Amino acid sequence: MGAGDKDGSGFVTIRTPAAKDTGTAMVVADRLTSPGQTITGVSSVVGFSCVDTWGLAGVLTAGTCDTTATIAATWTGTPQSVSLVTTVPDEFFLVTLSMQFQGAGPWTDTAKVTVAGQSFETSATVTAYEAGGGATGTTSQSPTPSATTSDTPSPSPAPRPRPTATPPPMSKPTAAPTPVKRKVVQSG
C-alpha cells in the first residue's frame, strides 16, 4: 500500500507474514525499482496478532480480535532494511516507510520479507491521482441566465403511437420462499 501528497511526501506500508512462534526474527527490505523516489525514514512499525472479519489488523485478547490495540515493536537497521523480532505467537508487522516522490510517477518498488530463512517478495506500484476537492469560494454563471416570457405559444411535438401488445399473464408461484436466517456476530 502506498500514497503520496501534493508536496511529494508520502508513504509505503509493507505487511509481513505472521510468524507462528515468539522470538522469530524477520528482515523487511525495500528496494526502489524506479527513479523519482527516496525512502526518507521509518514512519512506524507496529505488531498485530489477528485479523477481524473485515481484514482489519488487531490484537487477540480473550478470544476476540481487538482492532483498536497494537503490539509495541522495536526495530533495528536502516529504513531500507528493517530487522524485527516477534514477541507473541502469530505476530505480524506493518512497516510504514516515509517517502519522497518527484515527478509524475508511477513509482515502483520491491519488498522482500525474510522469516526464519524463508523469503517472500512482492512488487508494488504507487500512482499519483488528481482527485480534486477542497475548493472554497463563490461561483458565478456565465452568461447570466435571464427570465424570458413570450406571448407566442411554442409548437408541441406530435404524439407518437404507443404499442398495443399486452404482456403475457404472470403465473403464480408454486412454493413459498424459504426464509433465510442469519446470525450476526460482532467482534470487538
Q: From residue 68, how far is each of 54, 72, 91, 147, 186 by CA, in Å?
A: 14, 13, 16, 58, 14
Q: How confident is the model at residue 155 (pLDDT cuts 50, 70, 90)?
A: low
Determine the Cα–Cα distance for residues 124 and 126; give it in Å rounded to an integer. 7
Q: How confident is the model at residue 104 (pLDDT cuts 50, 70, 90)?
A: confident
Does any domain span residue 168?
no
The helix (run of H) or strand (run of E) holding residue 81 is strand 81-85
Could you tell me if residue 140 is inside a domain?
no
pLDDT at 112 over 80: yes
Is 125 inside a domain boundary? no
Q: How many Å from the N-terminal Cα to the C-terminal Cα in the chain? A: 25
* pLDDT at residue 72 in the model: 93
Give bridge partners of residue 29 from the DSSP assignment.
81, 112
Tell me, yes or no, whether 75 lies in a domain: yes
Q: Is residue 127 part of a domain?
A: no
pLDDT in tens, 55-94: 999 999 999 999 999 999 999 999 899 999 999 999 999 9
105 burial (CB, 10 Å; 0-12 / 13-18 / 19+) is: middle
Q: What's the total number of domains in the chain?
A: 1
Q: What percent of the chain has pLDDT over 90?
A: 53
- For residue 160, tell me if it sits in a domain: no
CATH code of residue 23: 2.60.40
- Rounded to whole angstroms, how far apart are CA atoms 130 and 103? 14
Provide the CA 174 distance to its chain's centre, in angstroms. Answer: 46
**How many Å apart are CA 84 and CA 60, to the nearest integer?**
20
- Boundaries of domain holding 69: 2-114
